[in-house]
Chains A and B, each alone.
Chain A
Amino acid sequence: MQRIGVFVCWCGSNIAGTVDVVAVAEALKKEPGVVFSTDYQYMCSQAGQDLIVSSVKEHNLTGLVICSCSPRMHEATFRKTAQVAGLNPYMVEIANIREQCSWVHKDMPIGTEKAIILGKAAVAKVNLNAPLTPGESPVTKRALVIGGGIAGIQTALDIADAGFPVDIVEKKPTIGGKMAQLDKTFPTLDCAACILTPKMVDVAQHENIRIFSYSEVTDVKGFIGNFDVTIKKNARFVNEDICTGCGDCVTKCPQKKVPNEFNLGMDNRSAIYIPFAQAVPKVATIDPAHCTMLKTGKCGVCSKVCKANAIDYTQKDEFITERYGAIVVATGFDPISMDKFDEFAYNQSKDVITSLEFERLTNAAGPTAGKLLRPSDGEHPHKIVFVQCVGSRCDSCAEKGKEYCSKICCMYTAKHAMLTRDKYPDTEVYVFYIDVRTPGKNFDEFYRRAVEEYDVHYIKGMVGKITPEGKKLMVRASDLLDGKQLNIDADLVVLATAIEPDKSARSLATMLTASMDTNDFFTEAHPKLRPVESPTAGVFLSGTCQGPKDIPETVSQAGAAASKVIGLLAKDKLKGNPCVASSDELMCNGCSSCEKVCPYGAITYENKEFRMPDRTTRVRRVASVNPAVCQGCGCCTVTCPSGAMDLRGFMNEQIMAEVDAICK
């Protein structure tokens, strides 16, 4: 039999205002197992904790019930107090009489009655509590960063600088991501390449960083501290170690009609290519879909011109398995497809472009060498219309676009409009907006500068229809403030398209058992207090894979994720949560139900030999739980049809005892 102490907290007037705490303490004295019961104004204060410790010693208590606020608030506090008093920390139960009682009731007698019932339930549970000890697991001191954009680069650099080895896996042939495609960055207008490429070089030269470019993660097993990750290195048909990146093969390749994805298909590249001059690693890659040699076996020009003998047409995809202590997801974003937005004529006219295409058109390294020219005829545009919120802020029932605000469009549109007017004073620039959202340091000043100093016409209203007519684009839109419908004969239309998470994110989330929201953004462990951690232990989030954000925010989140990873990798052993599921192998019928519902992949089945009563042995398939992976959610225990699965600290028996105590 336990010797239980009950401690009822007033929480100032938070609890005592609606609950008669003295009556609660008095009533709980009569419960089985309770040998001591008292109340105190602030149980979490030092004096309150001292009261608990001295009572444990004085009354020789073996279990504690604290009637106070939510266990989310102070369970950890009181577990530490129990430890100080020499008890196992898991011999403490919290009866939540604040959030679930005093705060939701106005009537003192009702509140008091409910508090007593909640206290009784906790007492019934503590009677069945058993001491629990968390297990320990080792930590592999190596991190994996998935995605090599600015988020991945910054996270990798920060972790590597702290002395831990980091691998970056990037599916494209080069790291750099979307930022490498940008021209200038708001609100300071520094050139994206000038600030990004030195970081890319740092990554390449860092002794603690390895880059797996043109590679993908294909499998993740294991748990925090010990993830076994399979990385598929796609065959690039060029030996990375000896290619010097001289580019001779690229100039000599006879197949030059491949749409260049780096310039969003606005010009062509050759079948063997280096995405851009500052690529890291600066290594050529053969595109097998377009290489004549790989398709027909007749060509081999690149192999002949390569002085380093780096071309290898027989190269195969390679699979590497590596163990990591932590994984950072930095898979980034893509602009959404414009296929469903016929009204903007994106598929009808080459002169209707997305903002990312506009970035390439104004970039000195882009298809037009930085001159703003119409993609259709290469002429200089005079009237340019920018449309904001294209595909953002759409209602779900509109069946196209995204419900969220893409956050970066207002600022980059202001940047585009300003730079256009600055470089080409002969242009007329219109921006159609619904709201201009500029919350950020120096953001609104930047937008006002576009209007006041650069004469950009900001018009409140949305573009309804764009019709190509001859060389012009007829833009029909409303001007809500002037109460007019406008018809503008534009030369170029730029759509500020919504952004969405990269398509690879969903399959990756499944592999990592990390949760996502309905828009496929990774969810945080807590939206405010744990914003860079995934609910899955050991998985961290960096950049736009978690939600739309601009470069400064991405970089700060990347640093935050890195610091969390460093904190994890700095430990030699990890203490687990002892409240994990365990299976009674004698009762398990091997049905696999628990394995299917487990969101963390903690349950596996194995064939085990059992001695039967007649002294024969039988092999049975039974569930086994990996306590390091199990998060104690309890899905398996409610699914198990034979009642073999049980959650330590929340045994079925304990829950039933609580229910009985409430219903008594």
Chain B
Amino acid sequence: MNKKYLREDIIRMSGVNPKKCMRCGKCSGTCPAYDEMEYHPHQFVSMVESGDIEPLLESDSLYRCLTCFACVERCPRGVEPAKLIEAVRLTAIRRQGANRLTPNDIPAMLDDEIPQQALVSAFRKYTK
């Protein structure tokens, strides 16, 4: 996909304006999944802004974001990084055959502790 088109698509899908970011890093300072991620919340914002999106699409960081919205809640500029990460994730799984989760994966993962809602939510997050 065209780089510029991809950037605009993600911005439109997320409703986030990455230009509002003032590079304070509070999102990454607050992120509970920081150590699990290769690219951190503030990097998602700056890399989308600069159009450097391909590495994000390839990265496992997409699936390490818990969507806990701590970054959204605390961002002083109202940038909402989690929504941006969500849009990048959607872009990745919308690619042909890129579903992160299929119904066949479920039996192996089943655990009495997992609420049904978590499975529904996982499908919403990881499947086209």
Q: Does A461 contact B (CB under 8 A)?
A: yes
Whether B20 and A477, one on each chain, are in contact in the complex, defined by CB atoms closer than 8 angstroms, is: no
State the Cβ distance, B18 to closest chain A Cβ, in Å: 13
Q: Which residue of B lies closest to A434 (CB)?
A: B24
Whether A465 and B29, one on each chain, are in contact in the complex, defined by CB atoms closer than 8 angstroms, is: yes
Q: Which residue of B lies closest to A465 (CB)?
A: B30
CA distance A476 to B71 in the complex (A): 13
Known contacts being A395-B77, A395-B78, is A476 close to B30, with CB within 8 Å? yes
Q: Does A211 contact B (CB under 8 A)?
A: no
Majority secondary structure of chain A interface residues (helix, strand, loop or mixed): mixed
Q: Does A478 contact B (CB under 8 A)?
A: yes
* B-chain residues with CB within 8 Å of residue A396 when the two chains form the complex: 78
Q: Does A480 contact B (CB under 8 A)?
A: yes
Whether A464 and B76, one on each chain, are in contact in the complex, defined by CB atoms closer than 8 angstroms, is: no
* B-chain residues with CB within 8 Å of residue A394 when the two chains form the complex: 76-77
Candidates A398, A401, A461, A465; contact of B25 at CB < 8 Å:
A461
Known contacts being A478-B28, A485-B31, is A464 close to B40, with CB within 8 Å? no
State the Cβ distance, A330 to closest chain B Cβ, in Å: 30
Q: Does A99 contact B (CB under 8 A)?
A: no
Q: Does B12 contact A (CB under 8 A)?
A: no
- Chain B residues 10 to 67 lying within 8 A of chain A, measured CB to CB, are 20, 22-31, 34-35, 40, 42
- Chain A residues 446 to 487 lying within 8 A of chain B, measured CB to CB, are 460-465, 476-478, 480, 483, 485
Q: Does B6 contact A (CB under 8 A)?
A: no
CA distance A463 to B25 in the complex (A): 8
CA distance A393 to B28 in the complex (A): 18
Whether A465 and B70, one on each chain, are in contact in the complex, defined by CB atoms closer than 8 angstroms, is: yes
Known contacts being A343-B74, A464-B70, A464-B74, is A393 close to B31, with CB within 8 Å? no
Candidates B20, B25, B35, B70; contact of A460 at CB < 8 Å:
B25
Residue among A397, A464, A483, A485 with most chain B CB within 10 A: A464
Whether A393 and B25, one on each chain, are in contact in the complex, defined by CB atoms closer than 8 angstroms, is: no
Q: Does A160 contact B (CB under 8 A)?
A: no
* A-chain residues with CB within 8 Å of residue B70 when the two chains form the complex: 464-465
CA distance A432 to B109 in the complex (A): 42
CA distance A118 to B84 in the complex (A): 52
* B-chain residues with CB within 8 Å of residue A398 when the two chains form the complex: 75-78
Q: Does A389 contact B (CB under 8 A)?
A: yes
CA distance A464 to B73 in the complex (A): 10
CA distance A485 to B79 in the complex (A): 20
Whether A478 and B75, one on each chain, are in contact in the complex, defined by CB atoms closer than 8 angstroms, is: no
CA distance A478 to B70 in the complex (A): 14
* B-chain residues with CB within 8 Å of residue A464 when the two chains form the complex: 26-31, 70, 74
State the Cβ distance, A149 to closest chain B Cβ, in Å: 28
State the Cβ distance, A343 to closest chain B Cβ, in Å: 5
State the Cβ distance, A487 to closest chain B Cβ, in Å: 10
* A-chain residues with CB within 8 Å of residue B20 when the two chains form the complex: 395
Whether A393 and B22, one on each chain, are in contact in the complex, defined by CB atoms closer than 8 angstroms, is: yes
* A-chain residues with CB within 8 Å of residue B77 when the two chains form the complex: 393-395, 398
- What are some 9 contacts across the A-B interface (CB < 8 A)? A393-B76, A462-B24, A463-B26, A463-B29, A464-B26, A464-B30, A477-B25, A478-B26, A485-B34
9 residue pairs, one from A and one from B, having the closest CB atoms: A464-B30, A464-B29, A462-B26, A478-B29, A397-B78, A478-B28, A478-B25, A461-B25, A485-B34
